[in-house]
């Protein structure tokens, strides 16, 4: 929630455009949250990938 390069509004826009997207906001996370909060990021990514239908088309709205 501290990312000055890609603010939350950018994530919200992408979530609206990509129906399969999930927006996760990491409290205290900035642009390098994936390094600073690696355990939390890995859990979010793993959970998202595990529920994907790999045969589905990933197309924007």
Q: Are 28 and 16 in contact (CB under 8 A)?
A: no
Residue 27 inside a domain? The answer is yes
Asked whether residue 58 is assigned to any structural domain, the reply reads no
Q: How far apart are CA 9 and CA 35, in angstroms?
A: 21
Backbone angles phi, psi at 12, to 5 degrees: -65, -40
Number of domains in the chain: 1
Please report whether residue 19 resides in a domain: yes
In a domain, 23, yes or no: yes
What range defines the domain where residue 20 resides? 8-50
Query: What does the pLDDT look like over 11-33, one tens digit per residue?
Result: 899 999 998 889 988 887 778 88
pLDDT of residue 6: 86
Summarize pLDDT for 30-48 with one digit per residue, the tens. 788 888 889 999 999 999 9
Domain assignment present for 29: yes
Residue 27 is given by DSSP the state: T
């Amino acid at each position: 929630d501290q990312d000055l390069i890609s603010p939350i509004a950018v994530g919200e826009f992408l979530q609206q455009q990509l129906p399969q997207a999930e927006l996760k906001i990491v409290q205290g996370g900035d642009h390098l949250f994936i390094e600073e909060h690696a355990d939390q990021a890995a859990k979010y990514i793993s959970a998202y990938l595990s529920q994907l239908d790999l045969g589905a088309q990933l197309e924007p709205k």
